[in-house]
Amino acid sequence: MSTAKQHSAVKQHPIVDQRTDRSGAAFVKIAKRLDDQDLAEAAMNTLFSMERPEPLDKTASFPTDTPEDTILSRIYFEGQREKIAADLAGKIDERLRTFEILHGVSVNAAMRPLEKKAAAVSVIHELLPQCKVACESELVQAGKDFSTGYRQLSGRDRVAFAQNFLKVASEMGADVPDEVRLYTGVHVVPREDMAEQILLRKVAMDRMGEDSSGYAVLASELRSCDVTAFSRDDLMKLAGAVCLADEACGLERGRFSRSIPDAWHSVMRLKTAGELASEAKMAADDGRKAEDVARAMDKSDIIGRFGPGVLEEVEDGDGRIDTERLAELLELFGGARPTETEETERERNGDAQ
């Protein structure tokens, strides 16, 4: 089978390798099943310390360029063999055996079989009373619907949906849309034109012949202080207060709702990939220890930096964050890898320059 056909066949299955497993969470799960836990630990250290090409590949190919790649590919392959068609699995196995001989490596990748889950059990997750999901595809669709129709919900429901979505996404290992990140305060910063956003509301109230003094006072106060110093909690509280005012004044769903961003979009924005990278570098330059950073991170910060799939790997049996394990990940990864959205934005910024 040609390489192109092999890639096509692999793509039909949720198969990953060291060049597609962005967070490494899939490898951690596979390594836990290895009979040889010394090999598992050594392999994880290899994966998390090696330089991987950016951007990562779209499909798994089980590379054999180096002895290290060959070992990792063997473990990834054995951990997912049951997901691959028998004829293709045979060809991949034969190729790996050939390069194990060429590189002079011997890999005992025997592992415990996957635990079978009862098919009859279906867990229903409630994002809102009128929105419940039972699988990742339904969760992804709910995220898309929210991203395009969040203004049909009240401000309280937007935050509730986003918080519930973030929790379920962490359990399912699903991606988190930008709109959900915004409403949960994941990697947000103040908008420098916050006061001008509030003044838009004053103008709207004036045109409606209503009292606009409340918005005028708030805009004046924002202009007199350094909004860039606002913390995440400050931003979330301010957005909630502005939303309540908007709903009370009829601006949230009135004729001006299309021209005035809602409260959360008016007071904050998501950090760019460049800003995230700069923060990671500053943290290293300032000599901040990984343990200190880990203790300051909550679950939303962890998901924002590494993706939802890693959360279960840094939680203890009671659902609390294991700061030592999180600190190890911080040191191994050296900061967050950009999401596809951030990569696109970074490319656009590069083209603009």
Choose among 16, 9, 107, 121: nearest CA to 58.
16
pLDDT of residue 289: 62
Residue 212's region, left for phi above 0, alpha for psi from -120 to 50, else beta, is: alpha
Tokens (6 digits) for 73: 């590919």
Please enumerate in sequence order all residues whose Cβ is within 8 A of that of 339, keeping only pairs 6 or more positions apart, or say none: 175, 273, 307
How many CA atoms lie within 13 Å of 162's alpha carbon, on the beta-carbon side?
Answer: 23
Choose among 273, 276, 265, 281: nearest CA to 340.
273
pLDDT of residue 11: 38
Between CA 11 and CA 88 the distance in angstroms is 12
Between CA 183 and CA 185 the distance in angstroms is 6
Task: Answer whether residue 176 shows pLDDT above 80.
Answer: yes
Residue 55 preceded by cis peptide, ω within 30: yes
Please enumerate in sequence order all residues whose Cβ is within 8 A of that of 232, keeping only pairs 6 or more positions apart, or say none: 185, 188
Summarised one tens digit per residue, pLDDT across range 4-61 is: 334 434 334 479 999 998 888 889 889 888 988 889 889 998 898 888 877 888 889 9
Q: Which helix (H) or strand (E) holds 317?
A: none
Choose the weakest-confidence range: 179-193, 221-235, 324-338: 324-338
Per cent of the chain over pLDDT 70 is 81
Q: Check: CB of residue 76 under 8 Å from CB of residue 16.
A: yes
Q: Which amino acid is at 151?
A: R
Summarised one tens digit per residue, pLDDT across range 219-261 is: 999 999 999 999 999 999 999 999 999 999 989 877 777 889 9
Between CA 310 and CA 24 the distance in angstroms is 8
Q: What is the pTM of this model?
A: 0.52
Tokens (6 digits) for 286: 């300032």
DSSP bridge pairs for 128: 131
Please enumerate in sequence order all residues whose Cβ is within 8 A of that of 104, keeping only pairs 6 or more positions apart, or say none: 67
3-state secondary structure of 128: strand
Task: Answer whether residue 120 shows pLDDT above 60.
Answer: no
Between CA 180 and CA 130 the distance in angstroms is 18
- Residue 203: pLDDT band (50, 70, 90) is very high
Between CA 270 and CA 2 the distance in angstroms is 43
Task: Answer whether residue 116 shows pLDDT above 70.
Answer: no
Task: Answer whether residue 285 shows pLDDT above 70.
Answer: no
Angle at Cα 219 formed by Cα 213 and Cα 224, nearest 5°? 125
DSSP 241-254: HHHHHHHHHT-SSS
Mean pLDDT of all residues belonging to the chain? 82
Q: Check: CB of residue 246 under 8 Å from CB of residue 201.
A: yes
